[in-house]
Amino acid sequence: MAKFSLQHVYESQQFDLELLNIVFKTADDMKSDLLAKPRQYADILKDKIMASLFYEPSTRTRFSFESAMARLGGSILTTENAKEFSSASKGETLYDSTSVMCGYADLIVMRHNEPGSAKLAAEVSSVPVINAGDGSGQHPTQALLDLYTIKDHFSTIDNLTFAMVGDLKYGRTVRSLSYLLTKYNNIKIYYVSPTVCKMDEDIKAYLTTNSVEWEEVSSLEKVLPLVDCVYMTRIQKERFHDLEDYENAAGKYILDMEKVNLMQEKSIIMHPLPRVDEISKEVDKDHRAQYFNQANNGLYVRMALLYLLLGNHDT
């Protein structure tokens, strides 16, 4: 049987197809188990402690990790804003915080404002570290639940076409998803963004090296009839250093029913949330809207990761 071989999860490039399939199969098992009586996995992590160390605000990611741990019988150490309410406010380094936390918990879930922070933490940690978002760097668990949602809907990820829309420069979710899509065949990605929010060159070069076709376009209407998945993102005001750049980008791409009607019937709409105004609420009732289902899938994927990392189980 295949074994989950990762000790930490800090970037999407760590995953190959075999590891992705292990995560997805385990997530399926977790989803089924939540409906089972009795539950097989209800107490599987009852002797384990997860530290939820978030230096930036979070709703879905933090709560879904904490819910995942609770549903597996584990315990949780948490702080809502580690940047303000932990010793980081006194100047403690990430190195020291991680080194100390290893003595208190069996696994650390970390969100930090600096790209690459989770990888640095993993290098000094004696317990598994999961990257829950590192600034504008990556968000690998979001990309995993995104792929899980896509696979659940289409049954396969090969031969699909994507439009990634909005803040591509600072959007860690689209960076992470772009990396993972290189593991599949015959993928095409349209990058649709304001000029100040274009996808960085490193991602585009990675796609080219891995034979993934991509194209930058400015018209959302042009690509909507062509794609299987529209992945909308929020323009992240907190990442911009220039307010004028933000104001020029905000509100440029809004998906309303007039635009949704340009899409294929079988296509889906995704969003990592939270949204501001980039998807009109009228779209929520359309059968193509998958963003709330996408958020729910985060629970199953994160349950799977906690189970796999803390037990290193055969699957």
pLDDT > 90 in the chain, percent: 73
Cβ proximity of 193 and 199 under 8 Å: yes
Q: Which residue of the set 139, 151, 234, 302 is catalytic?
A: 139
User: How many Å apart are CA 262 and CA 224, to the nearest integer?
Assistant: 6
| 58 pLDDT more than 70 | yes
Average pLDDT, the chain: 90
Look up 209 and say whether it is catalytic.
no
Find, among 189, 133, 121, the residue nearest to 160 by Cα.
189
Q: Which residue of the set 31, 62, 111, 175 is catalytic?
A: 111
Look up 139 and say whether it is catalytic.
yes
Cβ proximity of 90 and 32 under 8 Å: no
CATH number (3.40.30.10, 3.40.50.2300, 3.40.50.1370, 3.30.310.50) of 140-294 reads: 3.40.50.1370
pLDDT at 241: 60
Other CB atoms within a 10 A radius of the CB of residue 52 amount to: 24
User: How many Å apart are CA 210 and CA 181, to the nearest integer?
Assistant: 10
| 173 pLDDT more than 50 | yes
Q: Which residue of the set 37, 90, 285, 287 is catalytic?
A: 90
Domain ranges of the chain: 12-138+297-308, 140-294
| 237 pLDDT more than 60 | no
Written as six digits, the tokens of 121 are 């933490």
Q: Which residue of the set 39, 60, 198, 259 is catalytic?
A: 60
Does residue 121 or residue 81 have the better pLDDT?
121
pLDDT at 315: 47
| 18 pLDDT more than 70 | yes
pLDDT tens for each residue of 227-236: 999 999 987 6
Does residue 275 or residue 83 have the better pLDDT?
275
Other CB atoms within a 10 A radius of the CB of residue 24 amount to: 18
Sheet strands side by side (includes 268-270): 213-217, 188-192, 161-165, 229-232, 268-270
Written as six digits, the tokens of 59 are 């709703």
pLDDT at 85: 44
pLDDT at 80: 65
Q: Any idea which fold 12-138+297-308 has?
A: Rossmann fold (3.40.50)
pLDDT at 1: 46
Same fold, 12-138+297-308 and 140-294: yes
pLDDT tens for each residue of 250-306: 668 899 999 999 999 999 999 999 998 899 999 999 999 999 999 999 999 999 999
pLDDT tens for each residue of 63-77: 999 999 999 999 999
Q: Which residue of the set 26, 61, 98, 149 is catalytic?
A: 61
| 138 pLDDT more than 60 | yes
φ/ψ (deg, to 5) at 27: -65, -40
Cβ proximity of 298 and 148 under 8 Å: no
**120-147: buried (b, 16+ CB within 10 Å) or exposed (e) per residue?**
bbbeebebbbbbbbbbbbbbbbbbbbbb
In 3-state terms, what secondary structure has residue 62? helix
User: How many Å apart are CA 28 and CA 43, to the nearest integer?
Assistant: 18
Look up 62 and say whether it is catalytic.
no
Which residues, at least 6 apart from 38, have a Cβ–Cβ distance to it below 8 Å?
none
